């Protein structure tokens, strides 16, 4: 059984801690358990209930009306919203519930239904990424165990790999984008997503995956041609670590176009001329499109 602080609930549900306290006092909507220190504490069932309340609240329902409903009525109202369009937040909440409970059948059903309904590209952008960002908050605060991390990422990983395997890329394409994450970076889902989008827009890729050493890159590039190096970095690489890493890539591979993305890239303050920073998934997708267009024009000239 996991336990969460009010700050964890705030991050997962998108409702300020101050607001949660007001709801508790004014509407008796949700009265959490307390430690001996009197600090509020929430468990898995509490999280599920608050996720549903949060969804209804963010969907426009007044909290005074929600407070009049029983837990069963709240659940029914949430389920009735499943048939409506653009309820991405609901599916993010449902994935969090299923992931925390190791409910593989439910998790797979949600993922499969949404991939069929809106397509993998939109699913990655509007459901998978927001879900992974939320659940990542649990891992960083030690409120999700490694088994839960492996459970949810394995299922999403399978979907993206399967879709990528079904893509056909022009073998004559002059691009070859090496997709990797540096040593110490273990997050692979963003890399798989990038690899999918690069290939979807007809860019050849060489997928190295996470935790790749410079020595591995040097060996490959010594024996094989490549046009771009694409790295995704979420983990803090230490004091000035990412700045040093980018400078090293630029120095060691001066003839390659270096592309970096990920949360950690917001701390880069010294960008070499050969390096481009992508600040969002939308920017990465647009880069994949433009690279394919430029390569096609070069090939046809």
How buried is 144 (Cβ within 10 angstroms: 0-12 exposed, 13-18 middle, 19+ buried)? buried
What does the block give as tokens for 276?
A: 């481009």
pTM (two decimals) = 0.77
- In tens digits, the chain (301 residues) has pLDDT values of 567 778 878 877 888 888 888 888 888 777 666 666 657 778 878 888 888 888 888 888 899 989 888 888 888 888 776 555 557 888 888 898 888 888 999 999 999 988 988 899 999 989 998 888 777 656 555 555 667 778 888 999 999 999 999 998 888 788 999 999 999 888 899 999 999 999 999 999 999 999 999 999 999 999 999 999 999 988 766 656 888 899 999 999 999 999 999 888 877 877 888 899 999 999 999 999 999 888 766 555 5
How buried is 1 (Cβ within 10 angstroms: 0-12 exposed, 13-18 middle, 19+ buried)? exposed
What domains can you pick out in the chain, each with its CATH number?
1-84 (1.10.1660.10), 87-166 (1.10.1240.10), 170-300 (3.40.50.280)
- Rounded CA-CA distance 200/177 in Å is 13
């Amino acid at each position: 059984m996991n336990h969460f602080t009010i700050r964890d609930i705030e991050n997962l549900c998108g409702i300020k801690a101050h607001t949660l306290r007001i709801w508790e006092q004014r509407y008796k909507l949700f009265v959490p358990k307390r430690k001996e220190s009197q600090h509020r504490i929430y468990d898995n069932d509490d999280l599920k209930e608050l996720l549903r309340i949060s969804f209804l609240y963010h969907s426009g329902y007044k909290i005074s009306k929600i407070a009049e409903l029983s837990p069963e009525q709240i659940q029914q109202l949430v389920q009735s919203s499943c048939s409506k369009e653009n309820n991405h937040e609901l599916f993010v909440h449902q994935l969090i519930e299923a992931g925390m409970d190791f409910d593989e059948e439910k998790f797979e059903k949600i993922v499969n239904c949404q991939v069929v309904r809106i397509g993998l590209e939109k699913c990655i952008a509007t459901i998978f990424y927001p879900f992974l960002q939320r659940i990542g908050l649990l891992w960083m605060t030690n409120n999700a165990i490694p088994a839960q991390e492996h459970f949810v990422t394995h299922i999403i990983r399978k979907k993206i790999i399967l879709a990528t395997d079904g893509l056909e890329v022009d073998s004559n394409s002059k691009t070859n984008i090496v997709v990797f994450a540096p040593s110490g970076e273990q997050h692979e889902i963003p890399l798989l997503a990038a690899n999918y989008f690069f290939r979807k827009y007809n860019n050849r890729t060489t997928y190295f995956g996470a935790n790749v050493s410079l020595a591995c890159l040097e060996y490959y590039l010594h024996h094989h041609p490549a046009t771009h190096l694409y790295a995704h970095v979420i983990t803090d690489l230490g004091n000035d670590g990412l700045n040093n890493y980018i400078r090293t890539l630029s120095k060691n591979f001066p003839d390659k176009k270096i592309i970096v993305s990920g949360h950690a890239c917001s701390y880069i303050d010294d960008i070499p001329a050969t390096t481009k920073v992508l600040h969002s998934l939308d920017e990465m997708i647009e880069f994949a499109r433009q690279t394919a267009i430029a390569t096609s024009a070069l090939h046809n000239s």
